[in-house]
Structure 1
Amino acid sequence: MAGVMDSVNQRTQLVGQNRLELLLFRLAGNQLYGINVFKVKEVLQCPKLTLMPKLNPVVRGVAHIRGGTLPILDLNKATGGPGLSNLDNTFVIITEYNTKVQGFLVRSVERIVNMNWSEIHPPPRGTGREHYLTAVTRVDDQMVEIIDVEKVLAEVVPVNEHLSQGLVDEQTQAEAVSRKVLIVDDSSVARKQVKRCLEEVGVEVVALNDGRQALDWLKALADSGEDVSSHLLMMVSDIEMPEMDGYTLTAEIRNDSRLNGLHVMLHTSLSGVFNQAMVKKVGADDFLAKFKPDELAGRVVARLHALRGEAGA
C-alpha cells in the first residue's frame, strides 16, 4: 500500500491544469469508487478499533494513529448498505475534509488514476435526491462513482449552519438586499449550507453545480450586455467539481475581459498550503476552507463594506 501512496505529496503540479488523480477503491461489491488524492493523507490496513458509547452507527469506532485518535466511518453503511464485515481484511483511507481528519473504512484499495476534470460528469438524471454521488466517470470501461463525502459527513457530524447573533447589522442587511452572489459547488449539501448562510446575510443567491455551468452562465450574462462585476457582488466557488474545477474556472474568468473584474473567492474542503499558492497563480481574490458560516458571512460583509467605501470615495 505504501507503493500506491508514496508519491501523493508530489501531485500538486496537476492543480490548475483541470486535472486530478483519483484513488480507486471498492466497498461491499464490485462497484469502483474514487476519491481525490488531494484529500488523502494515508492508506493503511484497518487498525484495531475502539468502540465508544453513543457514536453514530456509521462510525465503527476510533483508531489511534500517529499519536492521534480518529473516527473511522464505514462508507458502505454511510451510503445505505450494510456495515463491512471481517475488518481484518479491510482498509482505512485517512482523509482531511474541512480541516478535520477522519478515516473511511473500505473493502479494498485499487490504484491511482490520472484524469481530466472534463472526464468527470455529474450523476445521471433520475438518480434521485437522496443519492450519495457527486460525480461519475469511467476508467478502463468501468463506471467509477465519486461519493459526496460532504453529505456523508454532514449526516454523521452535523455542522452549525447559522450565523452568530449580531454578526450582520441592519445597515449591512439593507445593503445586501440589492446584491447577488454566485455560488458554485457540485455537492448538494455544500450548496444548501452556503446558500442558507448567505441568505442570512441578506444577499440573493444564484447556485450552480460545476465550473463549466458557471462559466457558461457568466458568459451568457456578459453576452446579454450586463456588467458582470456590477451585477454580482462576488462568486464563491468550490475547487473540486466535475467538468471544470474551480482553479480553471477562475483562470477562464481572468482571461475574459468582460468577466475579469468579478471578485472570486475559492471555498473548498481541500486542505494544504498549496492552495494559497494556487489562489495567487489563477488570480482568485480570496480563499476560505469549508465550512465556517461566520467566516464565510464575514467575507461577504467585508466585500459589501469595501463597495460602500468605494461608493463613498
Structure 2
Amino acid sequence: MLERAASQASTSGRENSQGYEISAPSGEPIQACQRPPNRVMRINDQRVYRRADQEMVGLAGGRPVYSIDYFTTVVTPRYLTALREEFRIPDDVDLVVPGENDIPSRLPPGYITLSVEYFRDGLCLPFHHYLRQALHRLNVAPAQLNANTYRILISCFILWTKHFAAELPFRAFQNLYKMNSAPSSSGFYYFQGFKGTFITGCPDSDKQFKHLWFYAGGRWLHGHLPYNDVPPSERVPLVFRRGYVWTRAPHIQEMTLAKVEALRELSDPERNQQGLLSRSSLEEHS
C-alpha cells in the first residue's frame, strides 16, 4: 500500500525513523545513527535476503534484482511536505511515501522513483526539458543515476549555456564524459570524465541518497502534458533497464569541439558545481 504525503503536515523539527534522524530539506544532512535493518523480500516465490548496507547483483526467479531494492527509505509524509514547500513542487505532482513492501525498482504505473538528494543537486519538478532529453538518451530511469550524475548533467548544461548562449548538445556532453555501469551496484550508472575531472567540487562518495527514495506521480515529467502526450524524444523511462553506455567520445563538428576544449581551459572554481547549481539557474533556462 502507498501512503500519500499529508498536504498539511508540519515542516518543523525532526522525526526519527528506523534509527535515522531526519532534518528538513534545508537543514543538516541526515546522519545515520545505526545501520538500517536487514531486508528480506520474496520475489517470484523465492526468498531473497541481503543486508541493507550491501550491494546485490543478479537475478531472482528470472527477474533482475537491483542493489537499491535492499535499502529501506527513511522518508516520511512530513519530510515530503517540507520538500514540496522548499523546492516549490506544484500540487499536480504527487509525492508518495512507499509502503512497507514497496521497492524502488518496481512501482505503480505512471510513477517514478526519486531521491530527496536529487533536489539538493539541482533537480526540479516538473523535469527540466534538458533532463527529459538526457534521460531519454541515456535510456535509464531517474533513480538509476547517483547524486553526482545530476550534479554533472545540470552543471554542464548551465556552464555551456552561460558561455555560448545555446543549449548543450548531447554529443558535446559525450565528449566531456563517458557513462559506465557501476560494477558493485546492479542497475546504477555513473559518469567519468574523459580527461580527468571536468565539473569540480562533487563529493567522492554520496550513498545516503539510497535511503531517501520515494515515489512521484502526476505531472512530474511535464507541467502541461500527460506522459503519453510528451514528445517521444523527451519521455523519461519509467522502469529500470539497461542504460546506454559509451566509452569513446563520438565525432562532433570542429566548432563544437573547440567549444568543448574552451570549457576545459576554465579554472576549477569556474567549473565548480556548487557555484553553478541553484534553482534560479535552472529556472532561467526552463
User: Which is bigger in relative contact order (C-alpha 8 A, separation at least 6)?
Assistant: 2
Larger Rg: 1
Q: Which has the higher strand share?
A: 1
Q: Answer whether TM exceeds 0.5 for this pair.
A: no
TM-score, length-scaled by structure 1: 0.26
